[in-house]
A = this chain, B = another copy of it.
């Protein structure tokens, strides 16, 4: 059923080099072999995207929304075939991947609704005033598509942040054609999803250049894509080294372009004293559950817990150690990730002041074994390496002398995707002093929950100050993600006949700002 071919603007191609997807658990090559995309494929895909952009960027919003919904239906229809292939390639369990397919098609449908809502266009009209000195012109603004977007599939969400994931969905919603650099860890999953998108493009009578999938194992492939002059923006989720390389490449282009890279985060969680005292054991259970979920391979994994020394913390640590001992070793996404995890955990354990609190069950070479360390607040602040992400089920509990030290540890952290407070009412006063610090450090502040789990809604921010992301002004999850791929254009004294319908006086657009006043319709 799988062909291993490259998808360039509706055309399935072969090449003279191949690679294989590997079974995550066994490390064995899966069938079929996949063709490596070349620089020539990049150029063809980008040329087709630039040409298709003229049609897709100006498509009526209802048609754009219908295309997104059809894409969702096509992916849903892949059903178990998709789940089984993704399980083999990623080692993730069936229920998780079925859930992830639901999230993937759910976000495509959410963006379809968002396209139709249309408020993201930031429509504004300032009527003329010929009597003013100088005469005031008629000005009308909207946001339009930025242009073709390069999306890098992420290994840890083979569906929801890969070929048809959040970056692709939001870029298509913005009217941007997409060229995906497929992640080599799940080429079969990628081909299945790309086939679904290509079918939706064809059945919608849209230009095939709207979507291409280029898979391969060489860094040069991604570099060629980001360097192509027709690419207008980049979406990436992955390692800090990978994100930084793309940022540098994009900044060095003749025409620099924005890179939206989601890179690394250790997601601090503060256990406020009154809350901790109330129930250290239930916090420990939930903590271990969150940190080991999906073998810890989430960008929002709770990598650092901040707590104040004392009896309640001692209870929490004992309960954490006990819970940890029952955590089974889980297959990690790739051999490279499990190797990096093992060396990262060893490095963390070797830092001055780090003490191993406990470990989970051991497993095979492709598995990740859960690890929790402790360290004092002072030792943590002495060494920046404690603040570096170890991708996998590893975490560190920072035992602080008091809440003032908790605040200092937080102030010393780099930018984060999330920051969490566990608290009850007796903690609110102290918490209110920490929140302004957390607002400066993170894109999402969570109360009394664990950071894993990212809801795809309107008010979600999955972003945060550098180096959590390359651009803290944006989110990669939720409807605001569309704004990354837009730019404003203003029309001055333009005859109505030449204006887009949304900018005409009698438009039925949902939300517009007219002469400074917000006007809502329907």
| A interface residues (Cβ-Cβ under 8 A, vs B) | 54, 58, 113, 117, 119, 122, 124-126, 134, 136-137, 139-141, 144, 146-147, 247-248, 251, 255-256, 258, 415, 423, 425, 428, 431-432, 435-436, 439-440, 442-449, 453, 455, 457-461, 463, 465-467, 470-475, 478, 480, 486-495, 497-498, 510-511, 513, 515-516, 518, 520
Which of A117, A125, A460 is most buried by chain B, counting CB atoms within 10 A of its CB? A460
Q: Are B459 and A490 in contact (CB under 8 A)?
A: yes
Q: Are A455 and B498 in contact (CB under 8 A)?
A: no
Chain B: which residue is nearest A497 at the CB level? B428
CB proximity of A467 to chain B, nearest CB, Å: 8
Q: Which residues of B contact A439 (CB under 8 A)?
A: 144, 489
Given contacts A54-B436, A459-B140, contact A494 B447 (CB under 8 A): yes
Q: Are B445 and A492 in contact (CB under 8 A)?
A: yes
Q: Which 3 A-B pairs have the closest CB atoms?
A: A461-B490, A139-B459, A124-B459
CB proximity of A80 to chain B, nearest CB, Å: 20
Q: Are A447 and B493 in contact (CB under 8 A)?
A: yes
Given contacts A125-B459, A248-B251, 12 further A-B contacts (CB under 8 A): A113-B516, A139-B460, A141-B480, A247-B251, A431-B498, A435-B498, A444-B492, A447-B493, A447-B498, A448-B493, A449-B492, A473-B486
Given contacts A455-B137, A518-B520, contact A461 B488 (CB under 8 A): yes
Q: Are A58 and B489 in contact (CB under 8 A)?
A: no
Q: Are A457 and B126 in contact (CB under 8 A)?
A: yes
Q: Are B493 and A446 in contact (CB under 8 A)?
A: yes
Q: Which residues of B contact A455 (CB under 8 A)?
A: 126, 136-137, 139
Q: Are A480 and B470 in contact (CB under 8 A)?
A: no
Residue contacts A-B, CB under 8 angstroms, 10 given? A124-B480, A146-B472, A255-B465, A431-B498, A447-B495, A447-B498, A473-B487, A473-B488, A474-B488, A510-B518
CB proximity of A513 to chain B, nearest CB, Å: 6
Chain B: which residue is nearest A420 at the CB level? B492
Q: Are B513 and A488 in contact (CB under 8 A)?
A: no
Chain B: which residue is nearest A423 at the CB level? B495
- Complexed CA–CA distance, A472 and B518 (Å): 25
Given contacts A247-B251, A489-B461, contact A498 B122 (CB under 8 A): no
Q: Which residues of B contact A248 (CB under 8 A)?
A: 251
Given contacts A126-B459, A146-B473, contact A493 B137 (CB under 8 A): no
Given contacts A139-B455, A255-B466, contact A472 B493 (CB under 8 A): no
